[in-house]
């Protein structure tokens, strides 16, 4: 099992540059978001977000990014990112809470590696559109600029869904709060 987890962490590390590239592309593509559907979940993306821009970093993952471009170079864009990952076999074994907390922790490790003064909250159990999962908030600095976010890891029957809302400052701004509320209010379709 440790080898399986190490392989997934390696894959996550390999495709993170692709995801970051998406954020740059998303800033250049002004398409207004709306209802977004993925793996049985419908999400009403707030009106100011543009996208999605998509990427498939490997055969088992697909990422969608919605952004509100930054108003200046000293402030990061506000991002709602959805990453869909094929669920590990242990999900079928009924250990959703353990799985969501472990994979949430692994994804947050990637955020931590790129930040200084990083802090995160303890993961909490959550349900999004009736599916079980975990959620945690974080904050840290990139090149001295404050950033923060909230990440959800949701377990469906066949996939892990990561909903990640991030932006500038030490607490969520109004656009981030709207995106977080949209994730929390998502529904099944």
What integer pLDDT is reported at residue 26 of this predicted model?
Answer: 45
CATH number of the domain to which 30 belongs: 3.40.1000.10
Total tally of structural domains belonging to the chain: 1
Q: Is the distance from CB of 44 to CB of 64 less than 8 angstroms?
A: no
What integer pLDDT is reported at residue 1 of this predicted model?
Answer: 47
Q: Which of 73, 20, 18, 25 is nearest to 50 (CA)?
A: 25
Question: Which residue range forms the structural domain that includes residue 136?
Answer: 2-188
Give the Cα-Cα-Cα angle 150, 144, 162 (nearest 5 degrees): 20
The structure's pTM equals 0.82
Give the Cα-Cα-Cα angle 52, 57, 62 (nearest 5 degrees): 45
C-alpha to C-alpha distance for 77 and 95, rounded to whole angstroms = 35
Strand partners, 2: none
Q: Is the distance from CB of 140 to CB of 118 less than 8 angstroms?
A: yes
C-alpha to C-alpha distance for 107 and 152, rounded to whole angstroms = 10
β-strands 61-68, 116-120: how paired?
unpaired
Helix axes 2-27, 96-113, angle to 10 degrees: 60
Order of strands, sheet of 35-38, starting from the edge strand that comes earlier in the sequence? 35-38, 41-44, 187-188
C-alpha to C-alpha distance for 31 and 104, rounded to whole angstroms = 29
C-alpha to C-alpha distance for 90 and 88, rounded to whole angstroms = 5
DSSP state of 32: B
What integer pLDDT is reported at residue 97 of this predicted model?
Answer: 78
Q: Is the distance from CB of 159 to CB of 84 less than 8 angstroms?
A: yes
Q: What is the mean pLDDT of each run of 10 residues along the chain (189 residues)?
A: 49 54 47 83 96 91 96 91 86 74 96 97 96 97 96 92 97 97 97
Q: Is the distance from CB of 138 to CB of 116 less than 8 angstroms?
A: no
What integer pLDDT is reported at residue 4 of this predicted model?
Answer: 47
Q: Which residues of 103-131 are buried (b: 16+ CB within 10 A; e: fewer)?
A: bbeebbeebeeebeebebeebeebebbeb
């Amino acid at each position: 099992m440790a080898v399986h987890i190490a392989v997934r962490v390696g894959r996550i590390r390999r495709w993170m540059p692709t995801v970051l590239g998406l954020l740059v592309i998303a800033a250049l593509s002004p398409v207004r978001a709306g209802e977004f559907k993925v793996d049985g979940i419908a999400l009403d993306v707030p009106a100011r977000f543009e996208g999605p821009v998509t990427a498939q970093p490997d055969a088992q993952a697909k990422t969608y990014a919605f952004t509100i471009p930054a108003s200046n170079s000293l402030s990061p864009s506000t991002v709602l990112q959805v990453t869909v990952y094929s669920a590990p076999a242990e999900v079928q074994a009924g250990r959703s809470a353990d799985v969501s907390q472990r994979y949430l922790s692994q994804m947050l490790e990637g955020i931590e590696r790129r930040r200084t003064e990083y802090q995160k909250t303890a993961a909490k159990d959550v349900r999004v559109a009736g599916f079980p999962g975990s959620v945690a908030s974080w904050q840290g600095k990139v090149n001295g600029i404050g950033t923060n976010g909230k990440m959800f890891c949701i377990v469906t029957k066949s996939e892990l869904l990561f909903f990640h809302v991030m932006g500038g400052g030490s607490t969520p701004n109004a656009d981030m709060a709207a995106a977080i509320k949209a994730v929390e209010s998502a529904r099944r379709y």
